[in-house]
Amino acid sequence: MSSWVEGAAGSAYDADNLPYGVFVREGEEPRVGVRIGDFVLDLAPIAAAEMLDVHAVFGEPTLNEFLAQGRPVWDSVRTWLVGLVSDETERDLVEPNLVPLDEVELRMPFAVGDYVDFYASLDHASNVGRIFRPDAEPLLPNWRHLPVGYHGRGGTVVPSGTPVVRPSGQRKGDDGPEFGPSTRLDIEAELGFVVGTGTTLGDSVTADAFADHVFGVVGLNDWSARDIQAWEYVPLGPFLGKSFATTVSAWVTPLAAFHHAWVDLPGQEPEPLPYLAPGDTSGLDIDVEVVLNGEVVSRPPYSAMYWSPAQMLAHLTVNGASIRPGDLFASGTISGPAPEQRGSFLELSWGGTEPFGDGRTFLEDGDEVVLRYTAPGTGGGRIALGEVRGRIEPAR
């Protein structure tokens, strides 16, 4: 299944990966492309030339029309694409539509509908509990019974590379609340799941229908202002401590690329209620690297997550809430059991009390964070998800 495209064979963007994005060439309109090696395959002209029924969706400035097509179309397009980039006889058709990555600008790949963020890592939730409530049980009573989640701001989800302006806000001070730029700006290394096929209000998505509704996966950094969050979050949850920016990868890796990445969950105790399909859903073996100014500071393993993506979607919809193409739900911070596997600076610095790396606690102006993700591919290789990059700009 190796590609004939120059440089792609054996790389992290070989024919077993093929993530989707939206690209712009200078002077042209944004449209849908697929990454192969260090090229973007321009889908609209090639799909039109091959008279694919769905060719028009690739001329759109977002993936949403393609997302709405559903699993059978996603699968047949993927089969077609794998053939194009694997079969040498397709070279004359494909090669004129390969655009070098450095000649394009990548845009937000999909228009986000509703954005939900979960809290699905046992280690992260336990660490946060220990940091903020050192004398109490680290996990709250509901945590092992349901994937705790909340709605975030869909309109401030931005693509990799977008600068992040340090937010200002209200926080607790010694003499009452004060206002100013956040002093505890943090990251949360997460995965996001992109909804394709929607549902009607009143319906639920059972865990076994996950792949009918979820199109693919993005890397995600849920930037968090801990001082703003700590003061505002009772009793209705995080709001301005999160809503200033959430960065996703410019590439959406289709679910089909994770064929070799599904693994058993670490184990759920006690067994969840039947609607969460206990024992019937799987985790994903995706390795994450948190890179701060060029240095890897953490390696969170997604395989350690407690709740599965299918359980998150089953929970999200069990009350009849409908979903739409472009809805996004994220895992919450990915943390493993070891200290060097923690997916936030809050945990890496243990609430700011134990500096890590070169004496770091929270983010400083000018810092650049890159999240990198890889997963098992075919033939023992690995596929890469799109990176999630962001640099902190000073408060305005």
> Binding-site residues for Mg(2+), please?
222, 242, 246
How far apart are CB 24 and its own copies at their closest, in Å?
Answer: 19
Whether omega for the bond prior to residue 270 falls within 30 degrees of 0, making it cis, is yes
Residue 288 has φ and ψ, to the nearest 5°, of -120, 140
Q: Write each residue from 187 to 226 as x if it is in contact with its own copies (CB under 8 A), else as -, in one continuous string.
A: --------------xx----------------------x-
Q: How many residues bind its own copies (CB under 8 A)?
A: 64
Binding segment toward its own copies, per CB under 8 A, in 14-22, 31-39, 101-109, 317-325 = 317-325
Which whole-number Å values give the CA distances from 228 to 166, 391, 393, in the listed order? Answer: 12, 20, 18
- Rounded CA separation 249/269 (Å): 33
Q: Does 315 bind its own copies (CB under 8 A)?
A: yes
Pick from 26, 72, 92, 396 the residue near its own copies by CB under 8 A: 396
Residues annotated in a binding site for Ca(2+): 117, 188, 190, 222
Give the residue with the Cβ less far from its own copies, 103 or 178: 178
Residue 104 has φ and ψ, to the nearest 5°, of -125, 160
Site for its own copies in 7-26 (CB under 8 A): none
Give the residue with the Cβ less far from its own copies, 231 or 350: 231
Pick from 27, 270, 294, 359 the residue near its own copies by CB under 8 A: 270
Give the distance, in angstroms, between the CA of residue 326 and the centroid of all CA atoms in the same chain. Answer: 13
Give the residue with the Cβ less far from its own copies, 64 or 97: 64
E strands, 93-213, are 98-100, 104-107, 115-118, 149-152, 157-159, 164-165, 168-173, 176-181, 185-186, 189-195
Whether 369 contacts 187, CB under 8 Å: yes
Q: Does 267 bind its own copies (CB under 8 A)?
A: no
Binding segment toward its own copies, per CB under 8 A, in 63-71, 109-117, 281-289, 354-362 = 109-117
Site for its own copies in 47-66 (CB under 8 A): none
Give the residue with the Cβ less far from its own copies, 7 or 180: 180
Which of 124, 145, 151, 315 is catalytic? The answer is: 124
Which whole-number Å values give the CA distances from 207 to 142, 244, 256, 258, 355, in the listed order? Answer: 20, 32, 17, 17, 41
Structure tokens at 301: 């393993």
Give the residue with the Cβ less far from its own copies, 85 or 164: 164
Site for its own copies in 222-261 (CB under 8 A): 225, 228, 231-241, 243-245
Name which of 98, 94, 103, 85 is nearest 24 in CA terms.
103
Name which of 156, 381, 328 is nearest 247 in CA terms.
156
Residue 284, Ramachandran bin (φ over 0: left; ψ between -120 and 50: alpha; else beta): beta
Whether 184 contacts 54, CB under 8 Å: no
Residues annotated in a binding site for substrate: 119, 133, 229, 233, 333
- Rounded CA separation 315/276 (Å): 7
- Rounded CA separation 26/365 (Å): 31
* Amino acid sitting at position 169: G
Give the residue with the Cβ less far from its own copies, 149 or 386: 149
Give the residue with the Cβ less far from its own copies, 37 or 109: 109
Q: Does 72 bind its own copies (CB under 8 A)?
A: no
Active site residue 124: yes
Site for its own copies in 165-184 (CB under 8 A): 165, 167-170, 172, 176-179
Name which of 16, 87, 47 is nearest 381 in CA terms.
16
How far apart are CB 62 and its own copies at their closest, in Å?
Answer: 15
Structure tokens at 270: 């006690």
Q: Does 335 bind its own copies (CB under 8 A)?
A: no
Contacts to its own copies by CB under 8 A:
113-114, 116-117, 119, 140-142, 145-146, 148-156, 158, 162, 165, 167-170, 172, 176-179, 201-202, 225, 228, 231-241, 243-245, 270, 273-275, 315-316, 318-324, 327, 396
Q: Which residues participate in catalysis according to the annotation?
A: 124
